[in-house]
Amino acid sequence: MVSSQPAIIVHGGAGRGSGERREARLAGCGEAALVGWQVVQAGGQALDAVEAAVATLEDDPLFNAGTGSSLNRDGEVEMDAAVMSGTLQAGAVAAVSGIRNPIRLARKVLEDGRHVLLAGPGAREFARRAGISPVPPETLVTPAQRDRWEESHGTVGCVAVDRNGRIAAGTSTGGTPGKLPGRVGDSPLIGCGTYANPAGAASCTGEGEAIIKVLLAKTSVDLMDSGAGPAEAARRAVALLARQTSGQAGVILADRSGAVGYAHNAEEMPVCYIVEGEEPVTAS
Ligand code: ASP
**Per-residue pLDDT reduced to its tens digit, 255-280:** 999 999 999 999 999 999 999 999 99
Cα–Cα distance between 118 and 124 in angstroms, integer? 9
Gap from CA of 276 to ligand 1 centroid (Å): 30
Q: Evaluate if residue 3 carries a pLDDT over 90.
A: no
Q: pLDDT digit string (tens) for 140-153?
A: 988 877 666 455 56
Cα–Cα distance between 281 and 18 in angstroms, integer? 19
Regarding the beta carbon of 173 and ligand 1, being less than 6 Å apart is answered yes
Gap from CA of 255 to ligand 1 centroid (Å): 23
Cα–Cα distance between 86 and 124 in angstroms, integer? 27
State the angle between helix axes of 216-225 and 230-245 in degrees (0 to 180), rounded to the nearest 10: 140
Cα–Cα distance between 87 and 78 in angstroms, integer? 29
Dihedral of the alpha carbons of 172, 141, 146, 61, in degrees to the nearest 10: -60
236-245: long-range contacts, CB 8 A cutoff, minimum separation 24: 237/263, 238/263, 238/264, 238/265, 239/265, 240/214, 241/210, 241/211, 241/214, 241/216, 241/265, 244/213, 244/214, 245/207, 245/210, 245/213, 245/214
Q: pLDDT digit string (tens) for 158-204?
A: 999 999 999 999 999 999 999 999 999 999 999 999 999 999 999 99
Please, which residues have CB within 8 angstroms of residue 38's CB and are 6 or more apart in sequence?
none
Closest atom of ligand 1 to 185 CA is 9
| CA-closest residue to ligand 1 atom 9 | 175
Regarding the beta carbon of 186 and ligand 1, being less than 6 Å apart is answered yes
Q: Are residues 230 and 247 in contact, defined by beta-carbon separation less than 8 angstroms?
A: no
Gap from CA of 208 to ligand 1 centroid (Å): 5
Q: Evaluate if residue 283 carries a pLDDT over 70.
A: yes
Q: pLDDT digit string (tens) for 6-65?
A: 999 999 999 887 777 889 999 999 999 999 999 999 999 999 999 999 999 999 999 999
Regarding the beta carbon of 12 and ligand 1, being less than 6 Å apart is answered no
Regarding the beta carbon of 205 and ligand 1, being less than 6 Å apart is answered yes
155 noted as active-site residue:
yes
Regarding the beta carbon of 69 and ligand 1, being less than 6 Å apart is answered no
Residue 146: predicted pLDDT: 67
Chain mean position to CA 128: 23
Q: Which of 67, 155, 176, 194 is catalytic?
A: 155
Residue 144: predicted pLDDT: 73
Residue 147: predicted pLDDT: 66
CA angle 127, 133, 138 (to 5 degrees): 105
- For 258, the 3-state DSSP assignment is coil
Q: Are residues 58 and 154 in contact, defined by beta-carbon separation less than 8 angstroms?
A: no
Regarding the beta carbon of 188 and ligand 1, being less than 6 Å apart is answered no
Regarding the beta carbon of 153 and ligand 1, being less than 6 Å apart is answered yes
Q: pLDDT digit string (tens) for 211-259?
A: 999 999 999 999 999 999 999 999 999 999 999 999 999 999 999 999 9
Gap from CA of 65 to ligand 1 centroid (Å): 10
| CA-closest residue to ligand 1 atom 7 | 205
| Helical H segments across 8-137, by residue range | 21-41, 46-58, 102-112, 120-129
Residue 259: predicted pLDDT: 97
Cα–Cα distance between 64 and 87 in angstroms, integer? 28
Q: Evaluate if residue 4 carries a pLDDT over 90.
A: no
Residue 38: predicted pLDDT: 98
Q: pLDDT digit string (tens) for 88-140?
A: 999 999 999 999 999 999 999 999 999 999 998 999 999 999 999 899 888 99
Closest atom of ligand 1 to 211 CA is 1
Which has the closest alpha carbon to 66: 151, 172, 148? Answer: 172
